[in-house]
Amino acid sequence: MTTYLIRRILYVIPTFLGATFLAFMILQAMPGDFLTQLSLDPKIRPETIEHMRHLFGLDKPVLVQYLIWLKNLFNGDLGYSFMYQQPVLEVILPRIENSLILVGLGVLFLYLIGIPVGIYQAVRPYTLGDYVISFLAYFGIAIPNFFFMLILIFVLVKIKFATGSTPFPIGGMTSQGFEQFSAWKKFLDILWHAALPAFVVVTADMSSLTRVMRGLMLEVLGQDFIRTARAKGLPERVVLYKHALRNAIIPVIATIGGLLPGLIGGAGLVEVVSGWPGMTPLLLDALNRQDLYVNAGIIALSTFLLIIGNIIGDVLLALVDPRIRYG
């Protein structure tokens, strides 16, 4: 297992370097930079801009700029944001935290809801409940998540007009007067705000997870050892959760690794719609303002997160499936 883990982690280095290089090149391929936008401002002298260009190393060849950026990255310095006049790390870190709250809560919903619902369907196949859930699952896969969020907000606004209060907040991440809350109340407040967007972020994945879970469970439940277990008089609970579920869940674990990439990006549009201060709104801003180092920083860190997510998925899979460990 240790060898597998070491190999898997060493493997990450070239991928990460390649990905950051690719992203850096794409960012540099954009016409102009932040300073060209500044140069349109008549109040700023051209000499100042030349000075800044030299200060940030924007006058050097692109490859050299990448090397310097990479060096600083290894030193834990992601550069300086032109837009916020702050070190990039200070700009990005809180945003990444926010995005991770959304994705983390979403993953929790995903498994806490998706798996039990799939099992429910498999235990009562071809009943009304099964059909209704299958229909909802089709619905969940097909609806664009930003549109779903828009609809929910629409419903919330209608409720607000009708009753004066809402069961969930309309957008944003914190209530008014958040700063004065106690730590526990702050936590609850953020959870309350995150609940709807987190659910929307994972709707599609939850829908496909229930379908997969239903199929896997049905397949396992049809096998001989289940009949044997029932025949020898085991309680149904033991048959379901000890015999069937443990076999059916292995492929589901395999999907964890593949899920995170989709979620990290997929949370983006929901963040935009619900006004959640996550990574994507920042990236969109930074792209429009050509804040080079913020862009590069977001892509580098999210790529890093994604690779970590993939490793976690692979390791989990290796833990449950010995064929991979010794492959």
Partner 1 sequence: MAEARAEQPMMKSARRLAWEQFKKHRLALIGGGILLVLYFMAAFAGFFSVYDPNFYTLSPSFRYAPPTPIHIRDPETGRLTRPFVYGIKKELDLDTFLEKYTEDRSKKYPIYFFVRTPDQPYTIFKLFKSNIRFIGLGAKATQEGARLYLIGSDNFGRDLWSRLVYGGQVSLTIGILAVLLALVIGLVMGGLSGFYQGTRMRLSLPLLRRESWLVEGGGALRRALKALWVVLISLAWVGLAAGLAYGLWTLIRAAEGLDLGTLLVALLLLFGIAGSLAAAIYYPVRLDPDDMVMRLVEIMAAIPGLFLLITLRSIFPANIDPLMTFYIVVAVLSLIGWGGLARTIRGMVLSLREMDYVTAARAIGVSNWMIILRHILPATASYTIVYASIAIPSFILAESGLSFIGFGITEPYTSWGLLLKAAQDGGFASFADRPWVLAPGVAIFLAVLTWNFVGDGLRDALDPRRRR
Tokens of 288: 């429009």
Q: What's the min distance (Å) between Cβ of 298 and partner 1?
A: 7
Residues 272, 311, 315, 316: which binds partner 1 (CB under 8 A)? 272
Residues within window 72-101 making contact with partner 1, judged by CB under 8 A: 72-75, 77
CB burial readout 144-170, b (16+ within 10 A) else e: ebbebbeebbeebeeeeeeeeeeebbb
* Closer Cβ to partner 1, 239 or 306, answer by number: 306
Q: How far, rounded to the nearest angstrom, does the alpha carbon of residue 149 sit from its chain's CA centroid?
A: 16
| Residue 233 beta carbon to partner 1: minimum distance, rounded to whole angstroms | 35
DSSP helix/strand/coil, 141: helix
In the block, tokens 């609850």 appear at 188
170: left (phi over 0), alpha (psi -120 to 50) or beta: beta
Nearest to 142 by CA among 217, 213, 211: 211
Tell me the per-residue interface mask from 196 to 235 with partner 1, x by CB under 8 A, - otherwise: ----------------------------------------
Interface pattern 170-199 for partner 1 (x via CB under 8 A):
xx----------------------------
Print burial letters for 67-86: b (CB count within 10 Å at least 16), e (below 16): eebeeebeeeebbbbbbbee
CB of 271 to partner 1, least distance (A): 10
Return the HEC string of 198-228. Answer: HHHHCHHHHHHHHHHHHHHHHHHHCCHHHHH
Does position 150 interact with partner 1 (CB under 8 A)? The reply is: yes
- Please pick, from the candidates 3, 10, 128, 161, the single residue that binds partner 1 as defined by CB under 8 A: 161
> Which of 122, 303, 314, 318 is the binder for partner 1 (CB under 8 A)?
303
Asked whether 197 and 149 are in contact (CB, 8 A), the reply is yes
**Separation of alpha carbons 35 and 254, rounded Å:** 46
Q: Residues touching partner 1: how many (CB under 8 A)? A: 63
- From 106-114, 142-150, 183-191, 319-327, give the range in contact with partner 1 by CB under 8 A: 142-150
- CA 50 → CA 30, 47, 56, distances in Å? 19, 5, 10
What residues make contact with partner 1 under the rule CB under 8 A? 14-16, 18-19, 22-23, 26-27, 29-31, 57, 60, 63-64, 67-68, 70-75, 77, 138-139, 141-144, 146-147, 150-151, 153-154, 157-158, 161, 170-171, 261-262, 264-266, 268-269, 272-273, 280, 283-284, 287-288, 295, 298-299, 302-303, 306-307
